[in-house]
Amino acid sequence: MRKSVIINKKSIVMCGLALALSAAIYLNWQYQGNGAVQNSVKNDADLGKSIYVNKTVSTLDEQDYFSIAVSEREKSRKNTIAELNEIISDKSASSESKQKAEKNKNTIALNIEKEANIETLIKAKGFDKCIAVLNEKSANIIIKAKEVTSQQTLQINEIVSEQTDFSSENIKIIAVE
């Protein structure tokens, strides 16, 4: 009985994470025009190996995109944290499961802090809107801009690298007009 409860809790957490990933992929696909993305790399030598993606979106879509992306990210995190808290507070869960849940919860908290720092610092560089999405090994930075110069790309790369220790090949910058 105990083992099935632990397996069920793990299944719930995994399903929640899979759902969050699916939502992020769907939103990305939806706002990129059903998969049609225009890649435009400016002065490859200056950019290192980071990727700059330029996509034109109408003003209404842009306002919706930033607000929807932030609310979806928050909703997904709240659900995941609630599931992790259930595992941590479950008296029948193994100590290993509780430790993993605690570790995942701490990672989420760290990512929230890093994303907020990145967004604030990028906005301080003159961008109106910015969303930072951190994964285990990469960062996606979505900014409101017509295009990003090589100098701006380097500034964004520097900010993200300082906050996360990711190398430039693991940083993707997406400009949304």
- The full DSSP string for 68-136 is HHHHHHHHHHHHHHHHHHHHHH-TTS-HHHHHHHHHHHHHHHHHHHHHHHHHHHHHHTT-S-EEEEE-S
pLDDT at 26: 65
pLDDT per residue over 147-174, tens digit each?
Answer: 888 899 999 999 999 999 899 999 999 9
Residue 81: both structure tokens together: 């944290």
Q: Which DSSP category does 139 fall into?
A: E
**Could you tell me the residue ranges of all domains in the chain?**
2-176
Q: Which two tokens stand for residue 114?
A: 């890093």
pLDDT score, position 40: 40
Q: Which residues of the chain have pLDDT under 70?
A: 1-10, 13-23, 26-64
**Residue 176 confidence (pLDDT):** 85
For residue 23, CA distances in Å to 75, 102, 118, 166 come to: 11, 24, 22, 24
What integer pLDDT is reported at residue 5 of this predicted model? 53
**153 contact partners, CB below 8 Å, separation of at least 6:** 42, 46, 47, 50, 52, 173
Contact 112, 98 (CB under 8 A): no
Handedness of CA 49, 117, 102, 14 (dihedral sign): negative
Question: What's the pLDDT at 130?
Answer: 92
Answer whether CATH 1.10.287.4300 is correct for domain 2-176: yes
